[in-house]
Structure 1
């Protein structure tokens, strides 16, 4: 970037930008030898384990959206086989929504509609 303002705008625009299913981490570069400056935003990410093999991203998002605004929902797949690894992550819009979703869904396989 040619100015500090452009760099700050780039960080703002592309931090957590979804690129090919992965959220980018974008920070300003620090001069050599100085510690990196990281901008940490609160994350409202939930680990979801023991998922039935049939659950995909859409179903995971659908179930959690009943408990708040879902920013992202991803089932983790094996790179070689393409099969679900049985877990995923859901990012909600707020801490309250995270807590509500956990309270409602923890241990609830039936909520996924695959029993």
Structure 2
């Protein structure tokens, strides 16, 4: 198994304001060695959250299974995978990108792929989702291998 192709970073959300990086590392290193912990607290209206990176996928998977739903300082935490492994990501930096906004909440990545397929070969498409809730943020991106040719719609009454 090529461990680089499997995620190693977890999102840990719904944290109490008293939780620290040190506490998270103490709890999660009991499951397996952690490479890092990054606490995000600057959003004053939202609960803090953090990202815990493990050295090994199997330890991250064990932590996900054992820590999701556990109470830390009186709050039930939410633990999910935080990232797509780098070997599964497509390098679209030289491709042509389109921002797609004002999407209805029920629009999926497959929906925007289908809608934009007639305009060229798509290299990547995604609806952006809130990491905590999994719900659409109402926008997304479509990447094309080639630059789109401008087209004009003529409406006649």
Residue 68 of structure 2 is aligned to residue 106 of structure 1: yes
The count of aligned residue pairs is 70
* Cα drift, residue 85 of structure 1: 4.3
* Cα drift, residue 94 of structure 1: 0.8
The higher radius of gyration belongs to 2
**What residue ranges of structure 2 are gaps of 5+ in the alignment?**
75-157
C-alpha RMSD of matched pairs (Å):
2.1
Contact between 2:16 and 2:47, CA under 8 Å: does it hold in 1?
A: no
- Cα–Cα, structure 1 residues 52 and 68, in superposed 2: closer, same or farther, change >3 Å? same
Contact between 1:60 and 1:74, CA under 8 Å: does it hold in 2?
A: no
* Cα drift, residue 101 of structure 1: 0.4
**Which digits, 9 at most, give the CA deviation of each residue in 1:50-85, with x for residues without a partner?**
011110110111110010001001210217x6x984
Runs of 4+ aligned structure 1 residues displaced above 4 Å come to: none
Equivalent residue for 1:56? 20
Contact between 2:34 and 2:53, CA under 8 Å: does it hold in 1?
A: yes
Counterpart-to-counterpart distance in 1, 2:54 and 2:46: 22
> Which has the larger share of strand?
2
Give the TM-score taking structure 1 as reference length.
0.54
> Which has the larger share of helix?
1
Counterpart-to-counterpart distance in 2, 1:84 and 1:69: 29
Contact between 1:60 and 1:75, CA under 8 Å: does it hold in 2?
A: no
SS at match of 2:62: helix
